[in-house]
Structure 1
Amino acid sequence: MTGHRDAASTGPDDGTWRRVLTALRHDPLALGGALVLLVLLVVGVAGQWLAPAGINEVDVDRMLQPPSLDHPFGTDELGRDVLSRVLVAARVSLQVGLVSVGIALTVGVTVGLLAGYYRGWADNVLMRGMDVLFAFPVLLLAVAIVAVLGPGLRTAMVAIGVVYTPIFARVTRASVLAVREQDFVRAAISIGTSDLRIMRRHVLPNVAAPLIVQTSLSLAFAILSEAALSFLGLGIQPPDPAWGRMLFDGRGFVTDAWWLGFFPGAAIFLTVLAFNLVGDALRDVLDPRQLTVNEARRSSR
């Protein structure tokens, strides 16, 4: 029984996380991405207190002022401070990313776990449903869901969560199919261990690594999707700020007030890039297939 328990404990452990930290320290791009995400987290939590002015503080006398010492990001068409709105909008993007990916992770992992473990008719029914969702373009399906439920922050989170669920279901199912054939799982089945306990104690820990990688990458695309929905007027509604909505409002001032679109666009760009850089670093350390590729490259040198 001891050997069985040890064999099952192959998920991310302290040694794995030490490798992650080492990889971040030795990869300047990944380290820079991690620092950007740390700043984003601080801004998302404390943005309202860091903002130098009220996000809806209208002053027509200072409308469309370029970046200056008083207003580092300039002012918009209503005289509102763009820096304050960009800082506060970070909380919206972070909230949408975390909640929507959390929904996709929970539902997708559950579906993929059941489909991969039980296979047969359960696999066919569950994964064909995921294939139907996966067949739609991400943004088109999100727009359709928001159109049915009505625009708003909560609807956007649900819509983005739904469209990314099939990705997590596929990743989970593929990993579970491989883990289910391992000796420690067969041993647990042979001694009468319940399916729920096997999935919770032996299967899930062994599929955690690719899910962590997928989560980090999906956060980037969830934030990008939220920006797209807000740009279309289907995400968070005015007067609350959102990066995508700020891009929409600034589209008519591209030549006269470039800062209206530049700074929220730069915030989206840096956030998505940071998540992708950290996700790539995590993949290099946690993804077994990538580890095999890296080892093959090292041995060929």
Structure 2
Amino acid sequence: MTAQPLSAWSHLLRRPVSAAGLGVIVLLVLLSVLGPLLAPYGPNAADVSRALQPPGPEHWFGTDDLGRDVLSRVVLAARVSLQVSLVSVSIALAVGVTLGLLAGYFRGWADAVVMRVVDVLFAFPIMLLAIAIVAVLGPGLNTATIAIGVVYVPVFARVTRASALALREEPFVRAAVSIGARPLRIIRTHVLPNVMAPVIVQTSLSLAFAILSEAALSFLGLGVQPPQPSWGRMLFDGKAFTDAWWMSVFPGLAIFVTVLAFNLVGDGLRDVLDPRQRSVLESRRSR
């Protein structure tokens, strides 16, 4: 009896590394939602008499220079990182996909204008451009979110444009043009659904880089401002206390594990959403 084809979701869950990455992301979401209930102390509950205590039964991740519980701050900082990454990538996704669809389908002057702007943005290193935007708008959580969203717009625009250029020559798109369908309707019903596979993969990878970008901006003092907890800001606070290694190690591990999880899920999505790779997976499963 021939095995029934599995969905992309099923293929993703059958990959151990992708399933592990997805589990970490689910845990991150739970920490973001339930963090205030799970954290043993408040994020700014200071006790100077217990400053710089190493990890122990009372403070599992130790305390910082103000006597604040590092574990509580790491847990509560997950909400900040997830919020910044989701909002900034949503901005980049909405703007970049729209520009990429217009440039790839209409070509001509629309393509020339959009791609010249994209090329100008790509000429600057991502972090340098984000720092410049924050310097103009002023440091803070909202400006860091906007800056990260802007610098990732060109990435989504290029990915979408490349797919749209190929799709506009497909027979089903030409058939829609021949029967007089309006361009925007063709883009919405025929082109957009078919460019979503690479866009979804890019979204997962961009979420990882957005978390890194937020941590970098907060480390430089341009992102989250004290006393609000942030993994990047905690790294900045810990660099002045080399003996208190726990102040930097635990937020650094949180960044590493989260970014790795998004990358593992992105790699898995790239494989299961690629039709050629899907056929290979199905043939292996049949055998």
The reply to whether TM is greater than 0.5 is yes
Aligned counterpart, 2:88: 100
For residues 201-257 of structure 1, the C-alpha deviation after alignment (integer angstroms, 9 at most, x for no partner) is 111001111100000011000000000000000001000010000000000112x11
2:12/2:272 contact within 8 Å kept:
no
Q: Which amino acid aligns with 2:36?
A: Q
For residues 68-115 of structure 1, the C-alpha deviation after alignment (integer angstroms, 9 at most, x for no partner) is 111111100000001111111000000011000000000000100000
Aligned counterpart, 2:52: 64
Which residue of 84, 93, 113 corresponds with 1:125? Answer: 113
Confirm whether residue 205 of structure 1 aligns to residue 193 of structure 2. yes
Aligned counterpart, 1:285: 272
**Distance in structure 1 (CA, Å) of the matches to 2:233 and 2:105:** 43
SS at the partner of 1:100?
A: helix
Which residue of 44, 68, 77 corresponds with 2:32? Answer: 44
Confirm whether residue 170 of structure 1 aligns to residue 158 of structure 2. yes
Give 1:289 shift.
Answer: 6.6
Give 1:291 shift.
Answer: 5.2
**Distance in structure 2 (CA, Å) of the matches to 1:71 and 1:95:** 26
Which residue of 176, 186, 205 corresponds with 1:217? Answer: 205
Aligned counterpart, 1:227: 215
1:213/1:287 contact within 8 Å kept:
no
Instruction: Report the RMSD for the aligned CA atoms in angstroms.
Output: 1.8
Confirm whether residue 158 of structure 1 aligns to residue 146 of structure 2. yes
Give 1:21 shift.
Answer: 2.8
Confirm whether residue 30 of structure 1 aligns to residue 18 of structure 2. yes
Give 1:24 shift.
Answer: 2.9
Aligned counterpart, 1:247: 235
More displaced 10-residue stretch of structure 1: 265-274 or 190-199: 190-199
Aligned counterpart, 2:263: 276
**Distance in structure 1 (CA, Å) of the matches to 2:116 and 2:171:** 29
Aligned counterpart, 2:252: 265
**Distance in structure 2 (CA, Å) of the matches to 1:244 and 1:288:** 39
For residues 106-148 of structure 1, the C-alpha deviation after alignment (integer angstroms, 9 at most, x for no partner) is 0000100000010011100111101100111000000000000
Q: Which amino acid aligns with 1:178?
A: A
SS at the partner of 1:29?
A: helix
Segments of structure 2 that go 5 or more residues without pairing to the other structure are: none
2:24/2:258 contact within 8 Å kept:
yes
Segments of structure 1 that go 5 or more residues without pairing to the other structure are: 1-14
List aligned pairs for 1:71-86, cutoff 5 A. Answer: 71-86=59-74
Which residue of 121, 135, 147 corresponds with 1:147? Answer: 135
Which residue of 170, 189, 194 corresponds with 2:177? Answer: 189
> What TM-score comes out, normalization by structure 1 length?
0.90
**Distance in structure 2 (CA, Å) of the matches to 1:24 and 1:205:** 20
- What percent of counterpart residues are identical? 69
More displaced 10-residue stretch of structure 1: 282-291 or 34-43: 282-291
**Distance in structure 1 (CA, Å) of the matches to 2:59 and 2:152:** 38
**Distance in structure 2 (CA, Å) of the matches to 1:217 and 1:95:** 16
1:72/1:83 contact within 8 Å kept:
yes
Q: Which amino acid aligns with 1:96?
A: V
**Distance in structure 2 (CA, Å) of the matches to 1:289 and 1:73:** 46
Q: How many residues align?
A: 281
**Distance in structure 2 (CA, Å) of the matches to 1:176 and 1:288:** 17
For residues 127-170 of structure 1, the C-alpha deviation after alignment (integer angstroms, 9 at most, x for no partner) is 11011001110000000000000000110111000101101000
Q: Which amino acid aligns with 2:259?
A: V
**Distance in structure 1 (CA, Å) of the matches to 2:195 and 2:156:** 11
Q: Which amino acid aligns with 1:262?
A: V
Give 1:46 shift.
Answer: 1.3
**Distance in structure 2 (CA, Å) of the matches to 1:29 and 1:141:** 33
**Distance in structure 2 (CA, Å) of the matches to 1:134 and 1:68:** 47
